[in-house]
Chain A
């Protein structure tokens, strides 16, 4: 157990739907990072939050949004889902050397 908790582990949903992925960082970590991993693109950085504030943005689509709550857990919201959004979504926490969660496997059908 890495200390970073992601739920749910698996998600199957239809195109056009909206889903929320949840991440609880390791105890004491203020930073949360979201990554998308697909077979052809590898690990792609989406967005970073630090202590509730957005700090860095990567290749995140406008249909995706995230937030970090006062208790430091974070949620990644994916809307108007397309088949191409099917991927593994990872959350990581930490400032020097990230610790990853076990991921959420999203399948859009």
Chain B
């Protein structure tokens, strides 16, 4: 079983739709959960970062973590064509000088005008 699994898509939605992106992870010791957005041929950009179960909201983006089922989600409300990108979930144990993130393979999202 891979440590982080993510449906690669592609996912195509109309502008204004609510988008749901999901990942599962296998290691219950993982403490931190992140979502990155990556535009084509660019570096990943940190969108959301949380370390607890529950929801975290930032504008149109909501990250949700359920540690009991090892499930993480990203919701995008009122999706825009500019949201078209690949979304990567990441998790791991961080803190100070040690640790590294494990990334999902990414879900490619296309928002059609």
Contact = CB atoms under 8 A, between A and B. Distances in A.
Interface of A: 2, 4, 30-31, 33, 35, 41-43, 45, 48, 50-51, 55-56, 58, 88, 90, 95-103, 105
Interface in B14-41: 32, 34, 36, 41
A48 B99 CA distance: 8
B100 A33 contact: yes
Contacts, number: 60
B46 A99 contact: yes
Contact of A56 (B44, B100, B103, B105): B100
A56 B100 CA distance: 7
B97 A42 contact: no
Contacts of A45: 100-102
Contact of B44 (A30, A43, A51, A96): A43
B43 A50 contact: no
